[in-house]
Amino acid sequence: MDSIYKIHKLIDFITDIVKKPCAVAGNSLGGFTALYAAASIENKDQTLINGVALLNAAGRFKNPDDELILKEEVPQWRQNIAAFIQRFIIRLSFIITKQPLRIEQVLKQVYPINQDNVDDELVESIQFPAQDPNAAEVFYRVVSKNGNGPSIYVDDLLNDLIDFNKKKGRVLPLLLLWGESDPWIRPAAADKIQAIYPDSKRVSINAGHCPMDEAPHEVNQALNNFLQIVHS
């Protein structure tokens, strides 16, 4: 539901504010949102989004073996107990996760090339929204939903784009702008995207999960080159 909401907000923004076809770029979950919006039925004629740049985009791929696994039916009382334990553990982990030292530790993991960018201002910008009274509940919902797996897979979105391309007789430009040292979303994810969508172009960046912050000049140059292709 959260992903669908973000996608409609993005589409509404393009429709009401931009008012012309444009390229979209997104990092991590923002990349998944950008890809989802480009593959949505509202954009089947590519009249809203005419190019997508993914910067270490998040998203799950299909596992063919998943279809062979049959889940055992679990009694409701066991489900309730499991849900209570899960909520308790996740909320406890949130208390630890939002501490400044822990935030700094995590950020240095995803900024492996240029850790000097992990300063007090960046840590504070991450910690600030965690002080909201509803932050713990939001954290729980995000973590528990991810644990259950998203209902939309990257494979499905890419195949939808391919179908749209065939019908329109053109290819939606797709750029993979990838920090190759990302410990969270590894280069293998970009490999899979390229295998499904061979027309995608890839630019490898010597950076981690946030290449636009660790290597801004290289990212800006790659985006400028991509926009020239989109608007040519």
**One domain, residues 144 and 165:** no
For 230, list phi and psi in degrees, rounded to 5: -60, -40
d(CA 173, CA 187): 20
The residue ranking higher by pLDDT, 39 or 136, is 39
**One domain, residues 113 and 175:** no
**One domain, residues 169 and 223:** yes
End residue of a domain, out of 123, 148, 173: 148
Give the domain CATH number at 163: 3.40.50.1820
**One domain, residues 119 and 88:** yes
**One domain, residues 171 and 142:** no
* pLDDT tens digits along 164-192: 999 989 899 999 999 999 998 999 999 99
In a domain, 133, yes or no: yes
**One domain, residues 52 and 91:** no
End residue of a domain, out of 111, 131, 148: 148
In a domain, 67, yes or no: no
**One domain, residues 108 and 207:** no
Q: pLDDT-derived band of residue 215, with 50, 70 and 90 as boundaries?
A: very high
For 207, list phi and psi in degrees, rounded to 5: -160, 180
Handedness of CA 99, 101, 106, 111 (dihedral sign): positive
End residue of a domain, out of 106, 122, 148: 148
**One domain, residues 200 and 85:** no
d(CA 219, CA 205): 8
Name the average pLDDT for the chain: 85
- If one counts the domains in the chain, the total is 2
Q: What does pTM read for this prediction?
A: 0.78
pLDDT at 69: 41
**One domain, residues 157 and 226:** yes
**One domain, residues 155 and 226:** yes
d(CA 47, CA 45): 5
Which residue's entry shows tokens 């240029």? 114
**One domain, residues 127 and 182:** no
* pLDDT tens digits along 105-164: 888 888 888 888 888 888 888 888 888 888 888 777 766 654 444 478 999 999 999 999
Domain range enclosing 42:
2-60+151-230
d(CA 44, CA 120): 44
